[in-house]
Amino acid sequence: MLRTLCFVSLLAPALAAQALPTGEAVMDRFAQAIGGKAAMDAKRSMVVKGTMEMTAMGLKGAVTIHKAAPNLSLTEVELPGIGKMLEGFDGSVAWSFSAIQGPQIKTGTEHDFAAQEARFNTQAWKDLYKSMENLGVESVDGEPCYHLKVTPHKGPESQQYFSVASGLLVKMSMKLQTAMGEMPVESRTQDYRKVGDVLVAHKLVQQIAGQTIVLTFQSVAWDQPLAKSLFDPPAEVKALMKPAAK
Domain coordinates in residue numbering, the chain:
24-245
Q: Predicted confidence band at 14 (pLDDT cuts at 50, 70, 90)? A: very low
Give the model confidence (pLDDT) of 180-234 as tens digits. Answer: 777 899 999 999 999 999 999 999 999 988 889 999 999 999 999 999 999 999 9
Of the candidates 224, 222, 225, 206, the residue with the CA atom closest to the CA atom of residue 214: 206
Predicted pLDDT at 123: 64
Give the model confidence (pLDDT) of 32-84 as tens digits. Answer: 999 998 898 899 999 999 999 998 788 899 999 999 999 999 999 999 988 89
Q: Predicted confidence band at 246 (pLDDT cuts at 50, 70, 90)? A: very low
Between 8 and 233, residue with greater pLDDT: 233
The pTM assigned to this predicted structure is 0.86
- Whether the per-residue pLDDT at 245 is higher than 50: the answer is no
Tell me the β-bridge partners of 207.
186, 212
Give the model confidence (pLDDT) of 129-186 as tens digits. Answer: 899 999 999 999 999 999 999 999 888 899 999 999 999 999 999 987 776 777 899 9
Q: Is the dihedral of CA 28, 186, 220, 91 positive or negative?
A: negative
Class of domain 24-245: mainly beta
CA dihedral angle for residue 212, residue 116, residue 99, residue 52, rounded to 10 degrees: -40
Predicted pLDDT at 113: 87
Report the alpha-carbon angle 178-113-181, nearest 5. 10
Which long-range contacts link 169-178 to residues 24+ away (Cβ below 8 Å)? Answer: 169/30, 169/201, 170/140, 170/141, 170/143, 170/145, 171/140, 171/145, 174/113, 176/109, 176/110, 176/113, 177/108, 177/109, 177/110, 178/110
**Alpha carbon distance 2, 17 (integer Å):** 24
